[in-house]
Homo-oligomer: A and B are copies of this chain.
Amino acid sequence: MSGKENKVIIGIDLGGTAVKIGIVNRAYDIIAQTSIPTDAARPYEQVIADMGNAAAGLLTENGYDFGECLGVGVGSPGTVDSKNGVVLYSNNIRWDHVPLAAELKKYLPLPVYINNDANCAALGEVVKGAAKGYRNAAFLTLGTGVGGGIIIDGRIFEGGHPGGVELGHMKNGSEGRMCTCGRTDCLEAYASATALIDDAKKMAVWHPESLLWELCGHNLNRMDAKMPFDAAEAGDRYGKMLIENYIRHLADGMIDIVNIFRPDIIVLGGGVCAQGENLTQPLNKYLEENCFGASVSYIPQVVTAQNGNGAGMIGAASLVEPEGYSS
């Protein structure tokens, strides 16, 4: 008996718009949650005070005192110095060298761990989710950008200095597309949901005879990442072209990841992963055919994430007891 059976963990998902705060139990189920606006333009001390007070309140409301809480994990956008608990830089919330862990301890007298949000989501899928039971996993989230995380031997892999494991910023395509990072042709510029939507908009304009133009109601502002998949499934040739191109670029990025990290499994998160097997089936085929040493080396399966809307909180909570606290 470890005495941890009834203890809980606080997982905080710090986003550009909202701060989502959850209490998880030993099975990483979210047993209570709340959300407050980030209002990131304020001084960071105020943002963190609100975060800390809301988390402390959530604990109390649910009948827990600090002694029953093992700790706090926070997933932050941007470049995070996890060892020192500092958010070094986040373009999203405009933070620059913010001592998040130290500041948060003023309100929550508990162990506080912070990490990049994509790293958290990766670990969350290992402690509870699509990669549960695996020791080595790669995670790619396909959203506004392409984020990623690598789990090696059950722990978040961070490289030598903060700012590594930027899996969305490996060289990928060849069209000279500008990437948000200032370089051209990164994976993010081809495999983010943003990139897919941009491509679909162009295709709809160039080919108004395509189903894409109809699906968006002749209004490009309504185009989303699902429409090109829907068009492809309906047999529209332009939709098919978009999806084939999208999957080829994404697969190329994944092959880079396999050739470097050889994970047990690759988990895809973000809105695009709602496509399920429409996405994973061709990706798995591409990987089998193109990874280095294909026939003599281990090739991981590609699957979709399972933690859904709670992924950020579960992932953040997993920082506290990364090996699981059920034993």
User: A164 at interface (Cβ–Cβ under 8 A)?
Assistant: yes
A162-175 near B? 1/0 per residue, CB < 8 Å: 11111101111110
User: A206 at interface (Cβ–Cβ under 8 A)?
Assistant: no
Q: How far is the CA of A154 from the CA of B156 in the complex (A)?
A: 18
Partner of A261, one of B164, B172, B298: B164
Q: Which residues of B contact A3 (CB under 8 A)?
A: none
User: A297 at interface (Cβ–Cβ under 8 A)?
Assistant: yes
Q: Which residues of B contact A152 (CB under 8 A)?
A: 159-160
Partner of A297, one of B136, B161, B258: B161
Stretch from A56-64, A216-224, A249-257 that touches the partner? A249-257
Q: Which residues of B contact A182 (CB under 8 A)?
A: 290, 294
Chain B: minimal CB distance from A39 (Å): 23
Chain B: minimal CB distance from A250 (Å): 12
Q: How far is the CA of A151 from the CA of B36 in the complex (A)?
A: 42
User: A262 at interface (Cβ–Cβ under 8 A)?
Assistant: yes
User: A115 at interface (Cβ–Cβ under 8 A)?
Assistant: no
User: A26 at interface (Cβ–Cβ under 8 A)?
Assistant: no
User: A260 at interface (Cβ–Cβ under 8 A)?
Assistant: yes
User: A66 at interface (Cβ–Cβ under 8 A)?
Assistant: no
Partner of A166, one of B96, B183, B260: B260
Across the two chains, which residue of chain B brings its CB closest to A153? Answer: B160
Q: Is the CB of B136 within 8 A of A159?
A: yes
Q: Kindly name the residue among A89, A169, A294 whose own CB sees the greatest number of chain B CB atoms within 10 A.
A: A169
Q: Is the CB of B298 within 8 A of A169?
A: no
Q: How large is the interface on A (under 10, 10 to 19, 20 to 34, 35 or more residues)?
A: 35 or more
Q: Is the CB of B171 within 8 A of A170?
A: yes
Q: Given A160-B264, A264-B160, are A292 and B181 also a contact pair (CB < 8 Å)?
A: yes
Q: How far is the CA of A135 from the CA of B159 in the complex (A)?
A: 11
User: A307 at interface (Cβ–Cβ under 8 A)?
Assistant: no
Q: Which residues of B contact A263 (CB under 8 A)?
A: 159-161
User: A76 at interface (Cβ–Cβ under 8 A)?
Assistant: no
Q: Given A170-B259, A172-B171, are A160 and B181 also a contact pair (CB < 8 Å)?
A: no
User: A293 at interface (Cβ–Cβ under 8 A)?
Assistant: yes
Q: Given A171-B170, A171-B252, A256-B170, are A292 and B262 also a contact pair (CB < 8 Å)?
A: no
Q: Kindly name the residue among A88, A172, A264, A293 whose own CB sees the greatest number of chain B CB atoms within 10 A.
A: A293
Chain B: minimal CB distance from A192 (Å): 15
Query: 20 A-B pairs, CB-CB below 8 angstroms?
Result: A79-B297, A88-B296, A136-B160, A159-B262, A160-B261, A160-B262, A160-B298, A161-B264, A161-B297, A163-B293, A163-B297, A163-B298, A164-B258, A166-B259, A166-B260, A170-B259, A171-B253, A171-B255, A182-B290, A260-B260
Closest A-B pairs by Cβ, 8 of them: A174-B174, A136-B160, A164-B262, A163-B297, A161-B262, A161-B298, A159-B262, A166-B259
Task: Knowing that A79-B296, A160-B300, A170-B259 touch, tell me 9 more A-B residue pairs with CB under 8 angstroms.
Answer: A135-B160, A136-B160, A159-B260, A159-B262, A160-B262, A160-B263, A164-B260, A167-B260, A170-B256
